Amino acid sequence: MALVVQKYGGTSVGTVDRIRNVARRVAKTFDEGNEVVVIVSAMAGETNRLVALADEISETPSEREYDVLVSTGEQVTIALLSMCLQSMGYKAKSYLGYQIPMLTDNVHAKARIKSIGDEKIRADLKEGTIIVVAGFQGTDDVGDITTLGRGGSDTSAVAVAAGLKADVCEIYTDVDGVYTTDPRIVPEATKMEKISYDEMLEMASLGSKILQIRSVEFAKKYGVVVHVRSSFNDNPGTLVMKEDNDMETVLVSGIAYNKDEAKISLLRVPDQPGIASQLFKPLSDANITVDMIIQNVSHDGHTDMTFTVPKADFKKAIEIVQGLSGNIGASGVKGNENISKVSIIGVGMRSHSGVASKMFDALSAEGINIEMISTSEIKVSCVIDSKYTELAVRVLHEAFGLDKKAQEETTI
Ligand code: ADP
Ligand code: ASP
Ligand code: MG
């Protein structure tokens, strides 16, 4: 008997019929002799609807109340799925985050999981009950509801799989695996049979929403092999797992894009020690994650400093930076929300040079200007004008031979 953790995303539970479809899949896994713990997201579009309601009420809603609100979507789906399983003759029981308990820190809207209680789950499983857990939510030390950030049900699932030492962790979604890039933008994208934790971490952190980044961090830390697959067919999906030798033979394995960042520039900052810490400490104290940072060559003891932050934190960040700009001695602050970041990713890049320049050539051939660049040993990212995002992704996908046809030709 295996312990199987399955997570179903928003589209997979988006209607009553789809919830019935999920129930049939869960029941089949149970009937095959497995113990089953299911994690579900809210119905497709529901979390967005709740976020929009909060935005309508207030420009800066309290983060505690935001979590109380946006966590409700998952309460609906766990109850509906459990009812459906029960109506099919199975024992099923739903759990909210605090009932498990799924303990997190108290950073609302982007809480981190600290521990997962397994007593109730194990007792129920022993009695032949199918467990249905609300994804995306937890509870902090004082019993307040927290949420794990958008896409957080993936993290709930991998954390539960790690906590219970499950044999299988399956993430069911609306595509049948991880592709070389978002198949919605490039229909010729190729499905990967497997991808290393490090590549998946980069893809997720660089914007591929297929898995939330923290779920991949958890998977890597606890060695959970994650199987990403479709809830609409039985195709084998993609295994997210430890790097193996095959993976290094591919130079660039995927292209990611992110339209959710904004750029802030501080103009004519005195080029002296301590400035960066005066600027970035208050941002990190406000839980704002700064991504790319560029400091220009200094002229007359002054330099421009540019960095990117999540669009969701843009207003808060710009207020903080405007408040600091006088003290730091900057001559002004500029913001731009119309940017996006395109990235190429591959563990094979570690041992090859010339990959970045091929990327720059491909972008420049289309007249796309690169505003910022950052590199690591397995990725290169460029910030560009957001209106060129789709074009850039397509061009890079082709330039690195990732299209289905090109791959078939190389295998022959
Ligand atoms: P769920 O609601 O099941 O969590 P998401 O919408 O969060 O689903 O994630 C699935 C979506 O991720 C797909 O519909 C696809 O458009 C998008 N996506 C982005 N990059 C990739 C990629 N490299 N491979 C597959 N899907 C991707
Ligand atoms: N419902 C949440 C969201 O839309 C969590 C998830 O779907 O993973 O972000
Ligand atoms: Mg998701």
Residue-level pLDDT at 247: 77
CATH number at residue 162: 3.40.1160.10
| Rg of the Cα atoms in the chain | 23
> Looking at ligand 1, which residue's alpha carbon is closest to its atom 15?
182
Are residues 251 and 364 both part of a single domain?
Answer: yes
DSSP 297: P
Distance CA 366, CA 196 (A): 31
> Looking at ligand 2, which residue's alpha carbon is closest to its atom 6?
151
Q: Is residue 236 a part of any domain in this protein?
A: no
Distance CA 369, CA 236 (A): 39
- Helices 213-222 and 153-163, packing angle to 10 deg: 10
Distance CA 159, CA 272 (A): 44
Cis-peptide, bond into residue 61, ω within 30° of zero:
no
If you measure from the C-alpha of residue 211 to the centroid of ligand 1, how many angstroms do you get, rounded to a whole number?
7
Ion ligand 3 neighbours, Cβ < 5 Å = 9, 151
Q: Model-level pTM?
A: 0.91
Looking at 148, 174, 200, the residue that finishes a domain is 174
Four-point Cα dihedral 181, 185, 187, 189, nearest 10? -10
Q: Tens of pLDDT along 108-119? A: 999 999 999 999
> Looking at ligand 2, which residue's alpha carbon is closest to its atom 5?
151
Check: CB of residue 139 under 8 Å from CB of residue 98. Answer: yes
If you measure from the C-alpha of residue 9 to the centroid of ligand 1, how many angstroms do you get, rounded to a whole number?
10
Least Cα distance to 356 among 371, 338, 344 occurs for 344
Which helix (H) or strand (E) element contains residue 70? helix 63-70
Q: Is residue 225 a part of any domain in this protein?
A: no
DSSP for 243-265, written as a single string: --HHHHT-S--EEEEE-SEEEEE
Q: Which residues pair with 302 in a beta bridge?
A: 270, 299
Q: Is residue 202 a part of any domain in this protein?
A: no
Residue-level pLDDT at 299: 81
Distance CA 124, CA 3 (A): 13
> Looking at ligand 1, which residue's alpha carbon is closest to its atom 20?
182
Starting at the edge strand found earlier in the chain, the sheet holding 3-8 runs 92-95, 130-134, 35-40, 3-8, 168-173, 226-230, 238-241, 194-196
Residue-level pLDDT at 354: 87
Are residues 129 and 263 both part of a single domain?
Answer: no
If you measure from the C-alpha of residue 209 to the centroid of ligand 3, how many angstroms do you get, rounded to a whole number?
6
57 is in which domain, residue-wise?
3-174
DSSP 365: H
Residue-level pLDDT at 412: 43
Closest ligand 1 atom number to CA of residue 11: 2
Four-point Cα dihedral 184, 185, 190, 194, nearest 10? -70
If you measure from the C-alpha of residue 136 to the centroid of ligand 1, how many angstroms do you get, rounded to a whole number?
17
Average pLDDT, the chain: 94
Least Cα distance to 271 among 293, 248, 299, 238 occurs for 299
The parts of the chain modelled with pLDDT lower than 50 are 411-412
CATH number at residue 396: 3.30.2130.10
Q: Which residues line ligand 2 (CB under 6 A)?
A: 9-10, 41-42, 47, 73, 135-136, 150-154
DSSP 10: T
Check: CB of residue 208 under 8 Å from CB of residue 154. Answer: no
Looking at 119, 144, 174, the residue that finishes a domain is 174
- Ligand 2 site-directed mutation target among 48, 136, 137, 212, most atoms within 8 Å of CB: 136
Closest ligand 2 atom number to CA of residue 150: 9
Distance CA 139, CA 263 (A): 33
Are residues 255 and 386 both part of a single domain?
Answer: yes
Count of domains forming the chain: 2
- Ligand 1 site-directed mutation target among 48, 171, 209, most atoms within 8 Å of CB: 209
Q: Is residue 310 a part of any domain in this protein?
A: yes
Are residues 409 and 269 both part of a single domain?
Answer: yes
Q: Which ranges in 71-152 belong to alpha helices (H)?
A: 72-87, 119-126
Q: CA 178 → CA 6, 158, 171, 224, 280, distances in Å? A: 17, 16, 11, 17, 34
Residue-level pLDDT at 272: 86
Q: Is 228 helix (H, G, I), strand (E, B) or coil?
A: strand
DSSP 225: P
Q: Tens of pLDDT along 324-344? A: 999 989 999 999 999 999 999
Check: CB of residue 198 under 8 Å from CB of residue 243. Answer: yes
Q: Is residue 238 a part of any domain in this protein?
A: no
Q: Is residue 104 a part of any domain in this protein?
A: yes
Are residues 253 and 159 both part of a single domain?
Answer: no
Are residues 278 and 167 both part of a single domain?
Answer: no
Q: Which residues line ligand 1 (CB under 6 A)?
A: 9-12, 41, 151, 173-175, 178-179, 181-184, 208-210, 254
Q: CA 238 → CA 169, 177, 372, distances in Å? A: 12, 5, 32
